[in-house]
Amino acid sequence: MKPVKYIKNYIGGALVPPDSGDYLDNVSPFNGEVYSHIPDSDASDVKKAVEAAERAFPEWSTCGAEKRFRILTRLADIIEQNLEDFAHAESLDSGKPITMSRSVDIPRAHSNIRFFATAIMHFASESHHMEGDAINFTLRQPIGVIGCISPWNLPLYLFTWKIAPALAAGNCVVAKPSEITPMTAFLLAKACDEAGVPPGVLNIIHGLGPKAGQAIVEHPKIKAISFTGGTTTGREIARIAAPMFKKLSLELGGKNPNIIFADCDFDKMIFDTLRSSFSNNGQICLCGSRIFVERPIYEKFKEEFVKRTRFLKIGDPFLPITDLGAISSKSHMEKVFSYIELAKVEGGEILCGGNIIEQEGKLEGGFYLSPTVIEGLPHDARTNREEIFGPVVTIMPFDTEEEVISYANSVVYGLSATIWTKDVTRANRVAEKLEAGVVWVNCWLKRDLRTPFGGMKSSGVGREGGLEALRFFTEPKNVCIKY
Ligand code: NDP
């Protein structure tokens, strides 16, 4: 795929430049070079997008679920047919290995769209019978214009995770991808045209969060916001949107515990723990960054885990042997590195990694960090409380179930947790007590799109996924008919 020089906004079915004429640089983390330019959109572009969405809403919201199903299914097919182009764009933009873009990001994106396109065909609502006197039924109607804002770590995957249910339910959307990874959203706009998505149904605005993103949140005609990103940004969005009584779904940060009991299947656990620590450079909100290991197997775990971490191949995202590509941006790499420095100040010992890798040749100037394992920190050190969102994990021994549950729950986050044990009763008992929206037992990142997804505490408000998403993107209205 030839890199696109100037990305455009997608408003009312047309690819258009930003009103201001200003563009931002799009840097590839692969080599740190600017390879395209992104609209530096503002409130004026958002206003046009909202107007286009409002014009499209009456027809799209009433055309029937089957029509929406057909169009969205075509869109999913087009992404699937162009998987290679999408995967290449995703890796160039985000630095992730092409093997991951091909096998996870892009396939999940088209399956998100297909899943919600079919789900809307089966979506039903409740009725409540009042003993021969009256009947209530719940009308679930599309809300109107929805704002969807997504992050850079799984760009198209998380973008479609919001857009697909919103559109399937009959809403029109104004969406903003992260300014760090805009390319696959731009390709999606082109695919919308080919799929026959009516003009204005989906509008994509590129630009900076505090400018274009905030304009979406502030716009009075946008009635609901679905946001995935950091907890600090989520708080800011809630501060603006709550007084306007917008419906809000916030999927935020995490600091997920990985709890390993001595009776686990060691080989399977070590294989998956390596994945849950370093997949996508640890830049998945569900990665387990705090690893608690029951003391009898702590030393064995440490030796094997560090050995395998040292074997991971870091480098060219476009080589099939690469395990870890580039970190998404220079500023993020510096933030992650600052946490490695903090860990040392707090008394942690770096067992492997811990450094920025200066690459040569075509990767020169790119953003590469070695996967890092740290031990010797108490569970309440800052390194163990704050989200790092990079290839950095800490390992800690524990002695009792009660102790490890209290460690796991001691942070402000509550997104996901992983438990490794062969004792089903214990797995159940611990899963019940963990403060996390998603708990995996003897596996990690096994995802069924029908399940509720989201976090507790500072990891978010509301749930997405399956029927939860369709409920979020519709307004329930009770109609009571007296006989
Ligand atoms: P940010 O919160 O920085 O950004 C997320 C999105 O919000 C981006 O599109 C960003 O735009 C935009 N944004 C930033 N500021 C504002 C604002 N004031 N108003 C409106 N929009 C704004 O998160 P990151 O992109 O850095 O993503 C990483 C974070 O996302 C991590 O904390 C991670 O845990 C979390 N995450 C949570 C998931 C979950 O399901 N719970 C899943 C994946 C990630 P721009 O990038 O252009 O600034």
Q: For position 440, what pLDDT does the model report?
A: 98
Q: How far apart are CA 393 and CA 354, in angstroms?
A: 11
Does domain 256-448 sit in CATH 3.40.50.740?
A: no
**pLDDT over threshold 90, residue 223:** yes
pLDDT at 148: 98
Residue 285 annotated in active site: yes
Mean pLDDT in residue range 297-308:
98
The pLDDT value recorded for residue 5 is 87
- Residue partners of 192: CB distance under 8 A and separation at least 6: 10, 13, 75, 201, 202
DSSP for 306-361? HHHHHH--BS-TTSTT-SB---S-HHHHHHHHHHHHHHHHTT-EEEE--SEE---G
In the chain, count H helices and then E strands.
16, 24
pLDDT in tens, 171-188: 999 999 999 999 999 999
Cα distance between residue 142 and residue 247, in whole Å: 12
Inform me whether the pLDDT recorded for 2 exceeds 80.
Answer: no
CA separation for the pair 462, 228 (Å, rounded): 11
Q: Could you say which of 3.30.70.100, 3.30.479.30, 3.40.605.10, 3.40.718.10 is the CATH number of the domain covering 9-252+459-482?
A: 3.40.605.10
Secondary structure class of 108 (helix, strand, coil): helix
Residue 160, pLDDT > 90, answer yes
Of 148, 172, 179, 251, catalytic: 251
43 Cβ closer than 6 Å to some ligand 1 atom: no
Give mean pLDDT, residues 193-218.
Answer: 98
* 251 neighbors 454 (Cβ within 8 angstroms): yes
Does the Cβ of 229 fall within 6 Å of ligand 1?
A: yes
Residues 6+ apart with CB under 8 A from 210: none
pLDDT of residue 478: 97
Interval 253-276: pLDDT, tens = 999 999 999 999 999 999 999 999
Q: What residue ranges do the domains of the chain occupy?
A: 9-252+459-482, 256-448
Residues 6+ apart with CB under 8 A from 204: 9, 10, 175, 176, 177, 185, 186, 188, 189
Residue from 221, 223, 229, 225 nearest 238 by CA = 225
Question: Beta 172-176 vs 413-414: how paired, if at all?
Answer: unpaired
Which residue has better confidence, 4 or 65?
65
Quote the pLDDT of residue 4.
66
Indicate the Cα dihedral angle 240, 243, 245, 246, nearest 10°: 0
pLDDT confidence of 3, banded at 50, 70, 90? low
pLDDT at 222 over 60: yes
Q: Is the CB of residue 339 less than 8 Å from the CB of residue 383?
A: yes
Query: What is the rounded average pLDDT of the residues 233-250?
Result: 97
* Nearest by Cα to 410 from 233, 256, 293: 256
Q: Is 172 a catalytic residue?
A: no
Q: How far is CA 198 from the centre of its chain?
A: 27
pTM of the model: 0.96
What average pLDDT does range 197-207 have in this prediction? 98
Instruction: Return mean pLDDT, the chain.
Output: 97
Predicted confidence at residue 220, as pLDDT, reads 98
Question: For the residues 124-139, what does the mean pLDDT come to?
Answer: 94
For residue 252, give the ligand 1 atom closest to its CA. Answer: 41
Is residue 161 in contact with ligand 1, taking CB distance under 6 Å? no
Among the listed residues 172, 192, 285, 287, the single catalytic one is 285
Give me the mean pLDDT over the 337-366 stretch.
97
Of 187, 255, 236, 199, nearest in space to 457 by CA: 255
pLDDT of residue 307: 98
Predicted confidence (pLDDT) per residue in 393-410, tens digit: 999 999 999 999 999 999
- What are the residues whose beta carbons fall under 8 Å from the beta carbon of 244, sequence distance 6 or more? 220
C-alpha pair distances (Å), 190 with each of 8, 16, 86, 183, 321: 10, 12, 12, 11, 31
Q: Is residue 21 helix, strand or coil?
A: coil
Cα of 150 vs centre of ligand 1, distance in Å, is: 6
